[in-house]
Structure 1
């Protein structure tokens, strides 16, 4: 199974899981190579497959979320977590759920695709 096929399978598993209290699932998907370029390339490829399913994504910059939170605005989970982790996401709405893809840098200075599935509307 290719890396991209594993990413799609992982995303489909997240989409099918029931939510607990938080109303979201977050997962990091490991690219074939943990470089930023490879992670971005795999996010783009995965995004292309999702666009084939659900149409073009919204591109959402998250840089203002930490600033808004610092000014006292309530940013609901998982959007506060995403805003702290990634600068931007590709975002789809499918079957009553939001699906977000971003690229996150880990503590080991590796890059991974961050996937979020949630019922919580973006702020």
Structure 2
């Protein structure tokens, strides 16, 4: 993982205005009130390719924790925020704001900070995807308070 590059992308997202509509960006996706960046992506996990999914998961969690250390020096210790209950609430039909609803489908928890930019949150999490799909280290900037 290139920590310097990740920090550059995070700074860019924190400073960037939010778009009026949903769309793709050079780093991921954005919509009204949020930006999501893919900071790192693993390879796919298809049967017989020799890739150890559990080992990769552990490495992505370690990479998230390493980046968390750098961000803690900027914004203080993060809150650890589980998205499991958010996922259950969306499955029961509750209207949860983005990016939280979409993240809850594949990111079990995030490290969360209030940034130095007023009214902006930053979340860092590992997308576990679905069987066969890659892991992703995600950075999310939003003006929506965590649900």
What's the counterpart of residue 27 of structure 2? none
Q: Over aligned residues, Cα RMSD in angstroms?
A: 1.7
Flag structure 2 segments of 5+ consecutive residues without an equivalent. 21-31, 44-55
Bigger relative CO (Cα 8 Å, ≥ 6 apart): 1
Contact 1:7 1:29 in 2 (8 A): yes
Question: Displaced runs of 4+ in structure 1, greater than 6 A?
Answer: none
- TM-score of the two chains, using structure 2 as the length reference: 0.76
Alignment of 1:25-104 (within 5 A): 25-30=35-40, 35-94=56-115, 95=117, 96-104=119-127
**Higher-Rg member (1/2):** 2
Instruction: Report the TM-score, using the length of structure 1 for normalisation.
Output: 0.89
How far, CA to CA, are the matches of 1:44 and 1:118 in structure 2? 20
What is the CA distance between 1:106 and its match in structure 2?
4.5
Output the CA distance in 2 between the equivalents of 1:106 and 1:60: 18
SS for the counterpart of 1:85 is coil
Matched residue count: 121
Indicate the residue corresponding to 2:142 in structure 1.
118
Gap runs ≥5 in structure 1? none
The structure where helix makes up a greater share of residues is 1
* Distance in 1 of aligned mates of 2:60 and 2:4: 15
